[in-house]
Structure 1
């Protein structure tokens, strides 16, 4: 399994309601790609408080690297990715991506 981790530092003017709307749109891709196992999104509730401004994010789990590639190539992903970038602080500089192979 591949775990695709995305942390987002939204601009200060982006409301929680708008963030919820963006994440709802992200979740609409579920069920469209056979390699996508699921998406979890939300706001950090870490007691460590080490987010460094990256207070929101999501995790998308994929069966394999091909599933992640299909997601990255999908037009719905590209559209929501552009919207997330538009609302992130300093555009792409406000988004971190990390892909982690997970073994049983």
Structure 2
């Protein structure tokens, strides 16, 4: 049986110092809600850095979205709901790093 293709879209974020915890929670909920509007987005997970290695380079949060293909990511990126949310979300970030990858498992 052929394995289903999966592509992960990972965003590392550091929120600006003046962004309240309540606003961060609101933004996270908005991000998570995109899965309800953008069909190619199959799953969403997020978390905060808990590493003891102190190699996070200031990034505090990680957001991971799952797609069936790179074409699905392209559709997600151009979707009006994503564009609207990204403009709001990115305005609250001090640092951001985005990587798309295909898991080798």
On whether the aligned pair clears a TM of 0.5, the verdict is yes
**Aligned equivalents of 1:25 and 1:33: distance in 2?**
13
**Aligned equivalents of 2:69 and 2:45: distance in 1?**
18
Aligned length: 100
Backbone CA RMSD of aligned residues: 1.4
Instruction: Establish whether residue 9 from structure 1 lines up as the match of residue 10 from structure 2.
Output: no
8 A contact 1:33–1:67 mirrored in 2: no
Instruction: Establish whether residue 37 from structure 1 lines up as the match of residue 38 from structure 2.
Output: no
**Aligned equivalents of 2:48 and 2:22: distance in 1?**
12
Cα deviations by residue, 1:43-88 (Å, 9 ceiling, x for unpaired)? 2112222111110120001011111111101111111111121111
Secondary structure in 2 aligned to 1:36?
Answer: coil
Cα deviations by residue, 1:26-51 (Å, 9 ceiling, x for unpaired)? 11111333322201123211222211
Segments of 4+ moved more than 2 angstroms: 31-35
In structure 2, runs of 5+ residues without a counterpart are 1-5
TM-score (norm 1): 0.86
Residues 1-104 of structure 1 aligned to structure 2 (within 5 Å): 1-89=6-94, 94-104=95-105
